Amino acid sequence: MAATLPAQSDLARAPGGAPGPAGITRPEFARSPDADVARTRNAALALGAFVLLYLSWQLTGWIPGSKENVGDLLILPIDAAAVYAAWSASRRCIGSSRLRSFWRLMAFALAAEALGDVIQAIYDIGLHHSPYPSLADPFYLVFYPLLLLALLTVTTRTKLLKPTLDGATIVVGGGAVVWYLVLGPTVEQSQSPLTMGVSMAFPLGDLFLLAGLAAMLLRPGPIAFRAPLKLITAAVLLGIGADVLYGYGQLHGTYRAGDWIDTLYVLEFATFALAGFSQRSVRHGDPDAEVEDTAQSRSRASWLPYLSLAIGLGVLLGVEWGTRFFPTVSLVLIVIVLAVLVAARQYVAQRELVQAQAALRESERMKDEFLSTVGHELRTPLTSIRGSLGLLEAGVLGELPADATNMVSVAVLNADRLVRLIGDILDIERMAAGGLLLEPVAVDATELVSQSLQVLQANANAAGVTLCEDVAPIRVMADADRIVQVLVNLLGNAVKFSPPGGVVTVTVERKNRCAIFSVWDTGRGIPADRLEKIFERFRQVDASDAREKGGTGLGLPIARGIVERHGGRVWAESRVGVGSTFRFTLPVAVADLEPVRSGVA
Partner 1 sequence: MSPRLLLVEDADDIRAIACLSLERIGNWTVVPAASGQAALEALAGDVPFDAVVLDVMMPGLDGPDTLARMREGALAPKVPVVFLTAKVGAGERERLLSLGAIGVIAKPFDPLTLPEELRRMLDR
Among 472, 13, 78, CA closest to 281: 13
Q: Per rule CB under 8 A, is residue 46 in the interface with partner 1?
A: no
Instruction: Considering the complex, state which of residue 348 and residue 433 has its C-beta at the smaller distance from partner 1.
Output: 433
Q: How far is the CB of 535 from partner 1 (least distance, A)?
A: 23
Q: Per rule CB under 8 A, is residue 383 in the interface with partner 1?
A: yes
Instruction: Considering the complex, state which of residue 79 and residue 424 has its C-beta at the smaller distance from partner 1.
Output: 424
At 354 the three-state DSSP class reads helix
> β-strands 466-471, 503-511: how paired?
parallel
Q: Which stretch binds partner 1 (CB under 8 A): 176-184, 275-283, 336-344, 430-438?
A: 430-438
AA letter at 361: R
Instruction: Considering the complex, state which of residue 68 and residue 479 has its C-beta at the smaller distance from partner 1.
Output: 479
Contact pick of 100, 386, 566, 583 for partner 1 (by CB under 8 A): 386
**Per-residue contact track with partner 1, 436 to 475, x per CB under 8 A?**
xx--------------------------------------
At 163 the three-state DSSP class reads helix
Instruction: Considering the complex, state which of residue 194 and residue 397 has its C-beta at the smaller distance from partner 1.
Output: 397
Instruction: Considering the complex, state which of residue 321 and residue 370 has its C-beta at the smaller distance from partner 1.
Output: 370
Contact residues for 478 (Cβ-Cβ < 8 A; gap 6+): 440, 441, 443, 448, 566, 586
Instruction: Considering the complex, state which of residue 302 and residue 388 has its C-beta at the smaller distance from partner 1.
Output: 388
Contact pick of 332, 391, 432, 543 for partner 1 (by CB under 8 A): 391
Q: How far is the CB of 423 from partner 1 (least distance, A)?
A: 8
Give the DSSP per-residue string, 19-61: -SGGGPPPHHHHS-HHHHHHHHHHHHHHHHHHHHHHHHHHHH-
**Using an 8 Å Cβ cutoff, are 200 and 183 in contact?**
yes
C-alpha to C-alpha distance for 206 and 241, rounded to whole angstroms: 9
**Using an 8 Å Cβ cutoff, are 335 and 310 in contact?**
no
Q: Per rule CB under 8 A, is residue 405 in the interface with partner 1?
A: no
Report 363-382 residues binding partner 1 (CB under 8 A): 368-369, 371-373, 375-376, 379-380, 382
Instruction: Considering the complex, state which of residue 243 and residue 393 has its C-beta at the smaller distance from partner 1.
Output: 393
Q: How far is the CB of 393 from partner 1 (least distance, A)?
A: 8
Burial degree of 72 (CB within 10 A; 0-12, 13-18, 19+): buried
Q: What strands, in cross-sheet order, belong to the sheet with 514-520? A: 466-471, 503-511, 514-520, 579-587, 570-575
Contact pick of 394, 404, 410, 590 for partner 1 (by CB under 8 A): 394
Give the DSSP per-residue string, 567-582: T--EEEEEETTTEEEE
- The residues with which 4 forms a beta bridge, in sequence order, are none
**Using an 8 Å Cβ cutoff, are 578 and 525 in contact?**
yes
Contact pick of 48, 423, 550, 553 for partner 1 (by CB under 8 A): 423
Q: Which parts of 252-293 fold into alpha helices (H)?
A: 261-278
Instruction: Considering the complex, state which of residue 489 and residue 522 has its C-beta at the smaller distance from partner 1.
Output: 489
Burial degree of 379 (CB within 10 A; 0-12, 13-18, 19+): middle
Q: How far is the CB of 497 from partner 1 (least distance, A)?
A: 25
Q: How far is the CB of 358 from partner 1 (least distance, A)?
A: 20
Q: How far is the CB of 416 from partner 1 (least distance, A)?
A: 8
Q: How far apart are the first and last CA of the chain?
A: 59
Q: Per rule CB under 8 A, is residue 430 in the interface with partner 1?
A: yes
Contact pick of 3, 7, 329, 396 for partner 1 (by CB under 8 A): 396
Instruction: Considering the complex, state which of residue 274 and residue 371 has its C-beta at the smaller distance from partner 1.
Output: 371
- The residues with which 466 forms a beta bridge, in sequence order, are 503
Q: How far is the CB of 551 from partner 1 (least distance, A)?
A: 19
C-alpha to C-alpha distance for 25 and 28, rounded to whole angstroms: 8
Instruction: Considering the complex, state which of residue 391 and residue 404 has its C-beta at the smaller distance from partner 1.
Output: 391
Contact pick of 435, 492, 502, 551 for partner 1 (by CB under 8 A): 435
Q: How far is the CB of 401 from partner 1 (least distance, A)?
A: 20
Q: Per rule CB under 8 A, is residue 424 in the interface with partner 1?
A: no
Q: How far is the CB of 495 from partner 1 (least distance, A)?
A: 20
Q: How far is the CB of 380 from partner 1 (least distance, A)?
A: 5
Burial 92-109 (b: 16+ CB within 10 A, else e): bbbbbebbbbbbbbbbbb
Q: Per rule CB under 8 A, is residue 400 in the interface with partner 1?
A: no
Q: Per rule CB under 8 A, is residue 415 in the interface with partner 1?
A: yes
Q: How far is the CB of 18 from partner 1 (least distance, A)?
A: 45
Instruction: Considering the complex, state which of residue 391 and residue 593 has its C-beta at the smaller distance from partner 1.
Output: 391
**Using an 8 Å Cβ cutoff, are 72 and 125 in contact?**
yes
Q: Which stretch binds partner 1 (CB under 8 A): 75-83, 202-210, 278-286, 432-440?
A: 432-440
Name the DSSP class of 189: S
For the chain, what is the largest distance between any 2 Cα atoms, rounded to a whole number of angstroms? Answer: 125
Contact pick of 60, 384, 512, 598 for partner 1 (by CB under 8 A): 384
AA letter at 81: A
Among 384, 393, 396, 399, CA closest to 413: 393
Q: How far is the CB of 395 from partner 1 (least distance, A)?
A: 10
Instruction: Considering the complex, state which of residue 196 and residue 422 has its C-beta at the smaller distance from partner 1.
Output: 422
Contact pick of 61, 387, 499, 501 for partner 1 (by CB under 8 A): 387
Here the contacts of 569-573 (C-beta below 8 Å, separation 24 or greater) are 570/486, 570/535, 571/531, 572/526, 572/531, 572/534, 572/535, 573/531
**Size of site (CB under 8 A) for partner 1:** 28
CA 142, chain centre distance (Å)? 37
Q: Per rule CB under 8 A, is residue 419 in the interface with partner 1?
A: yes
**Per-residue contact track with partner 1, 331 to 370, x per CB under 8 A?**
-------------------------------------xx-
Q: How far is the CB of 489 from partner 1 (least distance, A)?
A: 17
Judged by the rule CB under 8 A, the positions of this chain that interact with partner 1 are: 368-369, 371-373, 375-376, 379-380, 382-388, 390-391, 394, 396-397, 415, 419, 423, 430, 435-437
